Protein backbone atom coordinates (compact mmCIF):
# COMPACT_ATOMS: atom_id res chain seq x y z
CA UNK A 1 0.00 0.00 0.00
CA UNK A 2 1.17 3.50 -0.73
CA UNK A 3 0.02 5.12 2.49
CA UNK A 4 -0.10 4.49 6.22
CA UNK A 5 -2.64 5.14 8.96
CA UNK A 6 -1.05 8.52 9.79
CA UNK A 7 -1.75 9.89 6.31
CA UNK A 8 -5.48 9.19 5.98
CA UNK A 9 -8.52 9.31 8.22
CA UNK A 10 -9.53 6.15 10.16
CA UNK A 11 -12.66 5.70 8.05
CA UNK A 12 -10.48 5.37 4.94
CA UNK A 13 -7.91 3.18 6.68
CA UNK A 14 -10.62 0.72 7.66
CA UNK A 15 -11.52 0.21 4.03
CA UNK A 16 -8.05 0.30 2.47
CA UNK A 17 -5.64 -1.37 4.92
CA UNK A 18 -4.51 -4.96 4.53
CA UNK A 19 -5.19 -5.15 0.79
CA UNK A 20 -2.71 -6.00 -1.93
CA UNK A 21 -1.33 -3.19 -4.10
CA UNK A 22 0.36 -4.93 -7.03
CA UNK A 23 -1.20 -5.58 -10.44
CA UNK A 24 -3.01 -8.89 -10.31
CA UNK A 25 -3.41 -8.91 -6.54
CA UNK A 26 -6.91 -9.87 -5.36
CA UNK A 27 -8.83 -6.79 -4.23
CA UNK A 28 -9.96 -8.54 -1.07
CA UNK A 29 -7.62 -10.41 1.24
CA UNK A 30 -7.85 -14.09 0.36
CA UNK A 31 -8.81 -16.79 2.82
CA UNK A 32 -5.56 -18.78 3.17
CA UNK A 33 -6.42 -22.18 4.74
CA UNK A 34 -2.83 -23.38 5.01
CA UNK A 35 -1.01 -24.74 8.05
CA UNK A 36 2.36 -24.95 6.30
CA UNK A 37 4.17 -23.26 3.41
CA UNK A 38 6.95 -24.08 0.95
CA UNK A 39 10.25 -23.39 2.71
CA UNK A 40 12.36 -20.49 1.49
CA UNK A 41 10.25 -17.34 1.95
CA UNK A 42 10.55 -17.04 5.73
CA UNK A 43 7.02 -18.36 6.25
CA UNK A 44 6.98 -22.07 7.03
CA UNK A 45 4.35 -22.94 9.65
CA UNK A 46 1.30 -20.83 10.42
CA UNK A 47 1.40 -21.26 14.20
CA UNK A 48 4.85 -19.66 14.21
CA UNK A 49 4.79 -17.40 11.17
CA UNK A 50 1.15 -16.45 10.67
CA UNK A 51 -0.79 -16.30 7.43
CA UNK A 52 -1.60 -13.49 4.98
CA UNK A 53 -5.18 -13.52 6.27
CA UNK A 54 -4.09 -12.97 9.86
CA UNK A 55 -1.71 -10.24 8.76
CA UNK A 56 -4.48 -8.33 7.00
CA UNK A 57 -6.49 -8.15 10.22
CA UNK A 58 -3.35 -7.16 12.15
CA UNK A 59 -2.63 -4.39 9.64
CA UNK A 60 -6.11 -2.89 9.92
CA UNK A 61 -6.41 -2.98 13.72
CA UNK A 62 -2.76 -2.13 14.36
CA UNK A 63 -3.02 0.99 12.24
CA UNK A 64 -6.20 2.08 14.03
CA UNK A 65 -4.68 1.53 17.49
CA UNK A 66 -1.39 3.19 16.55
CA UNK A 67 0.92 0.20 17.01
CA UNK A 68 1.78 -3.28 15.76
CA UNK A 69 -0.92 -5.91 16.23
CA UNK A 70 -1.16 -9.65 16.75
CA UNK A 71 -4.30 -11.69 16.08
CA UNK A 72 -5.42 -14.33 18.59
CA UNK A 73 -8.09 -17.01 18.84
CA UNK A 74 -10.29 -14.79 21.03
CA UNK A 75 -10.21 -11.66 23.13
CA UNK A 76 -9.49 -13.79 26.19
CA UNK A 77 -6.59 -15.48 24.38
CA UNK A 78 -5.06 -12.06 23.74
CA UNK A 79 -5.59 -11.06 27.37
CA UNK A 80 -4.13 -14.33 28.64
CA UNK A 81 -1.01 -13.68 26.54
CA UNK A 82 -0.54 -10.37 28.35
CA UNK A 83 -0.95 -12.04 31.76
CA UNK A 84 1.50 -14.70 30.58
CA UNK A 85 4.26 -12.07 30.63
CA UNK A 86 4.11 -11.73 34.43
CA UNK A 87 6.75 -13.18 36.69
CA UNK A 88 5.71 -15.18 39.76
CA UNK A 89 4.92 -12.82 42.62
CA UNK A 90 3.73 -9.95 40.43
CA UNK A 91 1.07 -7.46 41.49
CA UNK A 92 -1.97 -7.17 39.20
CA UNK A 93 -4.31 -4.20 39.57
CA UNK A 94 -7.82 -4.69 38.18
CA UNK A 95 -10.93 -2.49 38.02
CA UNK A 96 -13.73 -3.32 40.44
CA UNK A 97 -16.04 -3.53 37.41
CA UNK A 98 -14.62 -5.59 34.58
CA UNK A 99 -15.34 -8.50 32.27
CA UNK A 100 -15.88 -11.67 34.29
CA UNK A 101 -13.44 -13.61 32.10
CA UNK A 102 -10.61 -11.30 33.13
CA UNK A 103 -11.64 -11.39 36.78
CA UNK A 104 -11.72 -15.19 36.60
CA UNK A 105 -8.30 -15.38 34.95
CA UNK A 106 -6.81 -13.09 37.58
CA UNK A 107 -8.43 -15.01 40.45
CA UNK A 108 -7.24 -18.36 39.12
CA UNK A 109 -3.67 -17.11 38.87
CA UNK A 110 -3.83 -15.69 42.38
CA UNK A 111 -5.12 -19.00 43.77
CA UNK A 112 -2.15 -20.78 42.20
CA UNK A 113 0.30 -18.33 43.71
CA UNK A 114 1.32 -16.73 40.42
CA UNK A 115 0.42 -13.17 41.37
CA UNK A 116 -1.57 -11.06 43.82
CA UNK A 117 -4.58 -9.00 42.79
CA UNK A 118 -5.72 -5.57 43.90
CA UNK A 119 -9.12 -4.19 42.81
CA UNK A 120 -9.73 -0.45 42.42
CA UNK A 121 -12.88 1.47 41.51
CA UNK A 122 -12.72 2.50 37.86
CA UNK A 123 -13.34 6.17 38.65
CA UNK A 124 -10.89 6.41 41.59
CA UNK A 125 -8.16 8.01 39.50
CA UNK A 126 -5.99 8.93 42.48
CA UNK A 127 -5.92 5.31 43.66
CA UNK A 128 -4.95 4.14 40.18
CA UNK A 129 -2.12 6.65 39.99
CA UNK A 130 -0.82 5.50 43.39
CA UNK A 131 -1.09 1.84 42.41
CA UNK A 132 0.93 2.39 39.24
CA UNK A 133 4.07 2.88 41.33
CA UNK A 134 4.11 -0.75 42.55
CA UNK A 135 2.03 -2.74 40.05
CA UNK A 136 3.49 -5.08 37.46
CA UNK A 137 0.28 -5.15 35.44
CA UNK A 138 -2.15 -2.24 35.48
CA UNK A 139 -5.24 -3.61 33.77
CA UNK A 140 -7.89 -1.11 32.70
CA UNK A 141 -11.22 -1.54 30.98
CA UNK A 142 -12.94 1.60 29.79
CA UNK A 143 -15.84 2.01 29.48
CA UNK A 144 -16.23 -0.79 32.00
CA UNK A 145 -18.43 -3.84 31.58
CA UNK A 146 -21.33 -3.55 32.35
CA UNK A 147 -21.54 -0.38 34.47
CA UNK A 148 -19.97 1.75 31.73
CA UNK A 149 -17.70 3.75 34.02
CA UNK A 150 -15.06 5.64 32.07
CA UNK A 151 -11.50 5.59 33.40
CA UNK A 152 -9.27 8.64 33.11
CA UNK A 153 -6.79 6.90 30.83
CA UNK A 154 -5.03 10.18 30.12
CA UNK A 155 -3.91 10.54 33.73
CA UNK A 156 -3.51 6.87 34.66
CA UNK A 157 -1.42 5.90 31.63
CA UNK A 158 0.86 8.88 32.24
CA UNK A 159 1.43 8.03 35.93
CA UNK A 160 4.97 7.01 36.98
CA UNK A 161 5.46 3.25 36.95
CA UNK A 162 8.16 0.62 37.08
CA UNK A 163 10.11 0.30 33.80
CA UNK A 164 8.94 -3.31 33.43
CA UNK A 165 5.30 -2.59 34.24
CA UNK A 166 2.62 -3.27 31.64
CA UNK A 167 -0.39 -1.00 31.28
CA UNK A 168 -3.03 -2.99 29.43
CA UNK A 169 -6.33 -1.52 28.27
CA UNK A 170 -9.30 -3.54 27.09
CA UNK A 171 -10.50 -1.18 24.37
CA UNK A 172 -13.36 -3.38 23.13
CA UNK A 173 -16.29 -1.21 24.24
CA UNK A 174 -14.76 2.01 22.90
CA UNK A 175 -13.23 0.54 19.72
CA UNK A 176 -10.09 2.16 18.25
CA UNK A 177 -12.31 4.76 16.59
CA UNK A 178 -13.43 6.22 19.92
CA UNK A 179 -10.28 5.69 21.97
CA UNK A 180 -6.60 4.96 21.37
CA UNK A 181 -4.99 3.85 24.64
CA UNK A 182 -1.47 3.67 23.20
CA UNK A 183 -1.63 7.39 22.44
CA UNK A 184 -2.29 8.01 26.16
CA UNK A 185 0.77 5.94 27.09
CA UNK A 186 -0.65 2.44 27.56
CA UNK A 187 1.63 -0.48 26.76
CA UNK A 188 -0.90 -2.71 25.04
CA UNK A 189 -4.48 -2.33 23.79
CA UNK A 190 -6.82 -5.30 23.46
CA UNK A 191 -9.76 -5.83 21.15
CA UNK A 192 -12.18 -8.70 21.39
CA UNK A 193 -12.65 -8.82 17.62
CA UNK A 194 -15.67 -10.99 18.32
CA UNK A 195 -17.50 -7.76 19.04
CA UNK A 196 -17.29 -4.54 17.04
CA UNK A 197 -14.36 -5.50 14.81
CA UNK A 198 -16.21 -8.50 13.32
CA UNK A 199 -19.57 -6.91 13.93
CA UNK A 200 -21.82 -9.79 12.85
CA UNK A 201 -21.86 -12.31 15.73
CA UNK A 202 -20.23 -14.97 13.57
CA UNK A 203 -16.66 -15.35 14.84
CA UNK A 204 -14.33 -15.52 17.83
CA UNK A 205 -11.06 -13.56 17.58
CA UNK A 206 -8.90 -11.16 19.53
CA UNK A 207 -6.21 -8.61 18.74
CA UNK A 208 -3.41 -7.24 20.93
CA UNK A 209 -1.65 -4.07 19.78
CA UNK A 210 1.52 -2.53 21.22
CA UNK A 211 4.23 -0.11 20.16
CA UNK A 212 6.79 -1.88 22.38
CA UNK A 213 8.81 -4.18 20.08
CA UNK A 214 10.01 -6.41 22.94
CA UNK A 215 6.47 -6.92 24.20
CA UNK A 216 5.21 -7.63 20.67
CA UNK A 217 7.78 -10.40 20.25
CA UNK A 218 6.96 -11.78 23.70
CA UNK A 219 3.23 -11.85 22.92
CA UNK A 220 3.95 -13.54 19.60
CA UNK A 221 6.03 -16.18 21.36
CA UNK A 222 3.22 -16.71 23.87
CA UNK A 223 0.77 -17.16 20.98
CA UNK A 224 3.07 -19.76 19.42
CA UNK A 225 3.75 -21.73 22.60
CA UNK A 226 0.14 -21.82 23.81
CA UNK A 227 -1.34 -22.35 20.36
CA UNK A 228 -3.70 -19.39 20.80
CA UNK A 229 -3.83 -18.81 17.07
CA UNK A 230 -6.88 -17.46 15.23
CA UNK A 231 -8.81 -19.50 12.70
CA UNK A 232 -8.45 -18.72 9.02
CA UNK A 233 -12.19 -18.28 8.42
CA UNK A 234 -12.54 -16.18 11.57
CA UNK A 235 -9.82 -13.73 10.57
CA UNK A 236 -11.20 -13.53 7.04
CA UNK A 237 -14.64 -12.66 8.41
CA UNK A 238 -13.13 -10.16 10.85
CA UNK A 239 -11.36 -8.34 8.01
CA UNK A 240 -14.56 -8.24 6.00
CA UNK A 241 -16.53 -7.06 9.04
CA UNK A 242 -14.13 -4.32 10.13
CA UNK A 243 -14.44 -2.59 6.76
CA UNK A 244 -17.84 -1.23 7.86
CA UNK A 245 -16.93 -0.44 11.48
CA UNK A 246 -17.09 3.34 11.02
CA UNK A 247 -20.58 3.39 9.52
CA UNK A 248 -21.88 0.76 11.93
CA UNK A 249 -20.52 2.61 14.94
CA UNK A 250 -21.80 5.99 13.79
CA UNK A 251 -25.32 4.69 13.25
CA UNK A 252 -25.47 2.65 16.46
CA UNK A 253 -24.03 5.46 18.60
CA UNK A 254 -26.63 7.92 17.36
CA UNK A 255 -29.37 5.43 18.14
CA UNK A 256 -27.90 4.60 21.56
CA UNK A 257 -27.92 8.26 22.58
CA UNK A 258 -31.58 8.63 21.64
CA UNK A 259 -32.58 5.42 23.41
CA UNK A 260 -30.62 6.40 26.53
CA UNK A 261 -32.44 9.74 26.68
CA UNK A 262 -35.83 8.07 26.26
CA UNK A 263 -35.04 5.42 28.86
CA UNK A 264 -33.93 8.10 31.33
CA UNK A 265 -37.31 9.79 30.97
CA UNK A 266 -39.27 6.53 31.32
CA UNK A 267 -41.15 6.19 34.64
CA UNK A 268 -40.45 2.43 34.91
CA UNK A 269 -36.68 2.82 34.60
CA UNK A 270 -34.80 3.45 37.85
CA UNK A 271 -31.40 4.29 36.42
CA UNK A 272 -29.68 4.60 33.05
CA UNK A 273 -25.93 4.24 32.61
CA UNK A 274 -24.60 5.70 29.36
CA UNK A 275 -21.46 7.86 29.16
CA UNK A 276 -23.15 10.29 26.79
CA UNK A 277 -25.75 11.36 29.37
CA UNK A 278 -24.90 14.40 31.51
CA UNK A 279 -26.23 12.42 34.50
CA UNK A 280 -23.54 9.77 34.09
CA UNK A 281 -20.98 9.96 36.93
CA UNK A 282 -18.00 9.95 34.55
CA UNK A 283 -19.59 11.99 31.75
CA UNK A 284 -16.99 14.77 32.05
CA UNK A 285 -14.13 12.28 31.77
CA UNK A 286 -15.87 10.60 28.82
CA UNK A 287 -16.10 13.93 27.02
CA UNK A 288 -12.35 14.36 27.41
CA UNK A 289 -11.00 10.89 26.63
CA UNK A 290 -13.60 9.43 24.24
CA UNK A 291 -14.36 10.52 20.69
CA UNK A 292 -17.78 8.89 20.90
CA UNK A 293 -19.89 7.44 23.71
CA UNK A 294 -20.39 3.95 22.31
CA UNK A 295 -23.35 1.71 21.64
CA UNK A 296 -23.86 0.01 25.01
CA UNK A 297 -26.52 1.11 27.51
CA UNK A 298 -27.10 -0.38 30.94
CA UNK A 299 -30.37 0.38 32.73
CA UNK A 300 -32.24 -0.82 35.81
CA UNK A 301 -35.92 -1.74 35.58
CA UNK A 302 -38.44 -1.14 38.34
CA UNK A 303 -39.63 -4.44 39.76
CA UNK A 304 -36.24 -6.05 40.24
CA UNK A 305 -34.91 -9.20 38.61
CA UNK A 306 -38.38 -10.57 37.82
CA UNK A 307 -39.37 -7.49 35.83
CA UNK A 308 -35.98 -7.36 34.10
CA UNK A 309 -36.30 -11.00 33.05
CA UNK A 310 -39.78 -10.28 31.71
CA UNK A 311 -38.42 -7.43 29.57
CA UNK A 312 -35.88 -9.84 28.05
CA UNK A 313 -38.63 -12.35 27.33
CA UNK A 314 -41.00 -9.78 25.81
CA UNK A 315 -38.70 -8.09 23.28
CA UNK A 316 -39.12 -9.24 19.70
CA UNK A 317 -36.81 -7.12 17.51
CA UNK A 318 -34.10 -6.97 20.16
CA UNK A 319 -32.54 -10.38 20.75
CA UNK A 320 -32.27 -11.87 24.23
CA UNK A 321 -28.64 -12.92 23.84
CA UNK A 322 -25.21 -12.27 25.25
CA UNK A 323 -22.26 -10.45 23.68
CA UNK A 324 -22.35 -7.08 21.95
CA UNK A 325 -21.08 -4.89 19.15
CA UNK A 326 -22.96 -6.49 16.25
CA UNK A 327 -25.40 -5.19 13.66
CA UNK A 328 -28.31 -6.67 15.62
CA UNK A 329 -29.35 -5.35 19.03
CA UNK A 330 -28.97 -7.75 21.96
CA UNK A 331 -29.91 -7.53 25.62
CA UNK A 332 -29.39 -9.59 28.75
CA UNK A 333 -29.67 -9.39 32.53
CA UNK A 334 -26.06 -9.50 33.60
CA UNK A 335 -26.64 -10.52 37.24
CA UNK A 336 -28.14 -13.79 35.97
CA UNK A 337 -24.68 -14.84 34.72
CA UNK A 338 -22.54 -16.92 37.11
CA UNK A 339 -19.88 -14.69 38.62
CA UNK A 340 -21.93 -11.54 38.05
CA UNK A 341 -24.30 -11.91 40.99
CA UNK A 342 -22.81 -8.79 42.63
CA UNK A 343 -24.34 -6.56 39.94
CA UNK A 344 -27.68 -4.80 40.41
CA UNK A 345 -30.29 -7.56 39.97
CA UNK A 346 -32.49 -5.50 37.63
CA UNK A 347 -29.65 -4.25 35.41
CA UNK A 348 -30.08 -4.93 31.70
CA UNK A 349 -27.18 -4.45 29.30
CA UNK A 350 -28.36 -3.40 25.86
CA UNK A 351 -26.03 -3.51 22.87
CA UNK A 352 -27.57 -1.23 20.28
CA UNK A 353 -27.38 -2.36 16.67
CA UNK A 354 -28.13 -0.60 13.41
CA UNK A 355 -31.91 -1.11 13.27
CA UNK A 356 -34.28 1.84 13.00
CA UNK A 357 -34.33 3.77 16.28
CA UNK A 358 -38.13 4.01 16.45
CA UNK A 359 -38.56 0.30 15.83
CA UNK A 360 -36.11 -0.42 18.64
CA UNK A 361 -37.86 1.99 20.98
CA UNK A 362 -41.30 0.61 20.19
CA UNK A 363 -40.03 -2.91 20.92
CA UNK A 364 -38.27 -1.89 24.11
CA UNK A 365 -41.02 0.33 25.51
CA UNK A 366 -43.67 -2.33 24.82
CA UNK A 367 -41.58 -4.92 26.65
CA UNK A 368 -41.07 -2.57 29.60
CA UNK A 369 -44.80 -1.86 29.77
CA UNK A 370 -45.60 -5.59 29.67
CA UNK A 371 -43.17 -6.27 32.51
CA UNK A 372 -45.20 -4.12 34.92
CA UNK A 373 -48.53 -5.87 34.38
Same domain, 221 and 314: no
Q: Is residue 57 domain-resident?
A: yes
Which of 220, 242, 264 represents a domain boundary (last residue)? 242
Provide the pLDDT confidence category of residue 331 given band limits of 50, 70 and 90.
very high
Q: Is residue 201 domain-resident?
A: yes
Alpha helices in the chain (DSSP H): 10-16, 46-49, 52-65, 75-83, 100-111, 125-131, 153-156, 175-178, 181-184, 213-226, 232-242, 245-264, 283-289, 304-314, 357-371
- Do 351 and 337 belong to one domain? yes
Structural domain boundaries enclosing 111? 10-242
β-sheet bridge partners, residue 136: none
Domain shared by 205 and 276, yes or no: no
Of the pLDDT bands very low, low, confident and very high (cuts 50, 70, 90), residue 338 is confident
Residue 243, pLDDT > 90, answer yes
Q: Average pLDDT, stretch 110-125?
A: 98
Give percent of the chain above pLDDT 70: 99
User: For the residues of 153-219, what is the DSSP string, one character each?
Assistant: HHHHTTS---TT-EEEEE-TTTHHHH--HHHHT-SEEEEETTTTTT-SS----EEEEES-HHHHHHH
Residues 120 and 184 occupy one common structural domain: yes
Say if residue 250 is in the same domain as residue 237.
no
Mean confidence (pLDDT) of the chain: 96
- The answer to whether residues 348 and 298 belong to one domain is yes
Looking at the structure, tell me whether residues 220 and 301 fall in a common domain.
no
Q: What is the pLDDT of residue 1?
A: 43
Give the pLDDT confidence of 255-291 residue by residue, as tens digits: 999 999 999 999 999 999 999 999 999 999 999 999 9
- pLDDT for 99 equals 95
> Quick check: is 1 in a domain?
no
- Closest-CA residue to 105 (of 343, 325, 339, 323): 339
Rounded to an integer, the average pLDDT of 199-219 is 98
pLDDT of residue 227: 97
Q: What is the pTM of this model?
A: 0.96
Rounded Cα distance between 175 and 196, Å, is 7
Q: Taking a C-beta distance cutoff of 8 angstroms, is the pair 40, 31 a contact?
A: no
| 297, β-bridge pairs | 350
CA distances from 180 to 28, 65, 92, 142, 176 (A): 26, 6, 22, 11, 5
pLDDT in tens, 305-329: 999 999 999 999 999 999 999 999 9
Annotated catalytic sites, by residue?
47, 99, 170, 195
Cα 45 to Cα 30: distance, rounded to the nearest angstrom: 18
Q: What is the mean pLDDT of residues 152-174?
A: 97
Based on the domain organization, do 209 and 88 belong to the same domain?
yes
Taking the C-alpha atoms of residue 121 and residue 370, their distance in angstroms, rounded to an integer, is 35
Regarding whether 252 and 238 lie in a shared domain, the answer is no
Per-residue pLDDT at 5: 76
The pLDDT-based confidence of 373 (bands split at 50, 70, 90) is low
pLDDT of 114 reads 98
Q: Looking at the structure, do residues 234 and 330 belong to the same domain, yes or no? A: no
Q: What is the mean pLDDT of residues 64-85?
A: 98
The arithmetic mean of pLDDT across residues 180-198, rounded, is 98
Q: Is 294 found in the same domain as 322? A: yes
Q: Are both 217 and 291 inside the same structural domain?
A: no
Q: Cα(307)–Cα(41) distance, rounded to whole angstroms?
A: 61
Among 218, 242, 266, the domain-final residue is 242
* Domain end point (choices 181, 208, 242): 242
- The number of domains in the chain is 2
Q: Rounded distance, CA 110 to CA 132, Å?
A: 19
Mean pLDDT in residue range 41-65: 96
Mean pLDDT of 340-346: 94
CATH of the domain at 303: 3.90.1150.10
Average pLDDT over residues 107-116: 98
- Tell me how far apart the alpha carbons of residues 110 and 368 are, in angstroms, rounded to a whole number: 41
Judged by average pLDDT, the poorest of 25-29, 107-111, 201-205, 347-351 is 25-29
Sheet containing 166-170: give its strands across. Answer: 68-72, 206-210, 188-192, 166-170, 137-141, 90-95, 115-120
How many Cβ atoms sit within 10 Å of the Cβ of residue 322?
A: 12
Task: Indicate whether 4 belongs to any domain.
Answer: no
Amino acid sequence: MGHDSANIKPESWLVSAGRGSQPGDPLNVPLVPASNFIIGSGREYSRDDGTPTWEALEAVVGGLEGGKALAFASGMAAIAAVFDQLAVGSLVVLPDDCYQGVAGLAAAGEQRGRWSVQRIAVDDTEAWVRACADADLIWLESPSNPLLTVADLELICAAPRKPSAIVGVDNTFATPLNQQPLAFGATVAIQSATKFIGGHSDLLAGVATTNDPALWHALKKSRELTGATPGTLETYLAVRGVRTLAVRLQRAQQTAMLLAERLEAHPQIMRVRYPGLSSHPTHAVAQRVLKGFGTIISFDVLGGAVAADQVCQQVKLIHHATSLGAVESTMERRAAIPGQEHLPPALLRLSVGIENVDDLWNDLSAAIAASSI
